[in-house]
Structure 1
């Protein structure tokens, strides 16, 4: 005998059982039923047109994820001597209720990507599982917030794989935080966080900006006279953003530099050009 019981069934729920038949009469006829000991169900009798009929009473909530079915034995006994009995096996199949939310394999994922990554490159695959079954265990993935993230990354709603979409530029953003939602077919959802670190590449040339310059000086200009001020800037970071300035020609000038490093804007170096010895009357051109 098979019967189904939902995870939603509350304690006290009743499950009717088949009645036994005994052609004898009096004490030799059917007298009572007995259920094998178990922690989920008890046995009660209910009145019917053909006498008392057995039924199961749920004692505590069912949990399909813990136990998907329950095997019981119902015994019918007469009052004779010796007692005659008959048994029937009862299988209670627990039907699923959407009582479990998806669970990600990690609450926080971390990944590092080089900038200028080609579009369509796989970044990461998130995975969530749901202990329910059927449609209640079917999971779809989505970005929790699309602002900016939807322009940079693509998410496969079925597999959870994330790929690059837009140009990834370290100088625009050094990291991204992505919130992913996993939702099952019954509407229960959970979230995880992905932290994407962008790695710098040497993809920017230094910039040279003159802020002050003397186009001409006298030949008796003192040694150490400042004739030009300029600054250099490289948007890259670390060693890729360190700028070295040299004068290519052999001329009586020298460069002095002082570095002011900015973690946001890259390395900014302030420089000045001084005379390093007395000059003779001539025209000089400087190339940096």
Structure 2
């Protein structure tokens, strides 16, 4: 005999059990029922007007399908004869799932570093959540919970696998990090959320840019040593060692470079250019 009930069934719920048959009458007929196999259930015997006895299964404790999904019980019916005769029936109680568990992400924060030259279409991360429920109640769909419109065009999230894929071109100089929230929702509407932080690391994808401001158009051969001829401004948009610039000129030329870190004379517009050099005769 199979009985199915939901794990959310309340304590005290009753479920009819199959009635034992005994062709004998009076004291030789069915007199008692006994239930063994689990402390979650008890037995209550009902006496009909004609004296026949029937049993009901009574839920005595709260169920948790994730803890135990099947109970195997034994129902014993005994008559009152001499000798006493009895018969048993196997009763299997199947606990049906209720959506009593929400999805849970494996991490509260997913943090990763990727290079800015990673190819468009690359899978950069996978978020993952689990749900102890079964069937539709345990099926998880992933989605963005909180993300800017700009970032939503840069990344897509697979609703089934939780894989995050790059759909644009990264540029460290434009944006060095991204962060957004993702949601995992089960088929019953319960959900969890987690944060994703993506750190973009710099690669040497920018060449130095050189600009020259000449202070004099021509230089005479008797110009004194130390005459400032021009101001060279060098910039590189990369960061760290990728943005460090070294300036040089051929050693055979009658000029030399002197590096400066602030403005010279009446040229304050150069005061913020760190990678600058002056050529002095």
TM category, shorter: 0.7 to 0.9
**CA deviation vs aligned residue, 1:248-286 (integer Å, no higher than 9, x gap):** 5844432222469xxxxxx9524342534xxxxxxxxxx
1:100 aligned residue:
101
Contact map agreement 1:5 1:94 (CA 8 A) in 2: yes
1:271 aligned residue:
276
1:114 aligned residue:
115
Give the distance between the partners of 1:230 and 1:60, measured in 2 at CA: 84
Measured at CA, do residues 102 and 258 of structure 1 come closer, stay the same or move farther in structure 2, by a change above 3 Å? farther
Q: TM (normalized to structure 1)?
A: 0.83
Deviation at 1:223, TM superposition (A): 3.8
2:79 aligned residue:
78
Size of the aligned set, in residue pairs, is 270
Contact map agreement 1:227 1:272 (CA 8 A) in 2: no
Give the distance between the partners of 2:45 and 2:273, measured in 1 at CA: 89
RMSD of equivalent CA atoms: 2.6
Give the distance between the partners of 2:261 and 2:92, measured in 1 at CA: 80
Give the distance between the partners of 1:118 and 1:139, measured in 2 at CA: 29
Q: TM (normalized to structure 2)?
A: 0.85
**Structure 2 unaligned regions, length at least 5:** 263-271
**CA deviation vs aligned residue, 1:21-75 (integer Å, no higher than 9, x gap):** 2222332222111111522111112354554421111111111111111010111
List aligned pairs for 1:185-224, cutoff 5 A.
Answer: 185-209=187-211, 213-215=215-217, 222-224=224-226
SS of residue paired to 1:86: strand
2:171 aligned residue:
169
Give the distance between the partners of 1:166 and 1:46, measured in 2 at CA: 72
List aligned pairs for 1:113-262, cutoff 5 A.
Answer: 113-147=114-148, 148-209=150-211, 213-215=215-217, 222-248=224-250, 250-258=252-260
Deviation at 1:244, TM superposition (A): 1.3
Asked if 1:32 corresponds to 2:22, the answer is no
Deviation at 1:96, TM superposition (A): 0.8
**Structure 1 unaligned regions, length at least 5:** 261-266, 277-288
Contact map agreement 1:208 1:231 (CA 8 A) in 2: yes
1:67 aligned residue:
68
Contact map agreement 2:115 2:200 (CA 8 A) in 1: yes
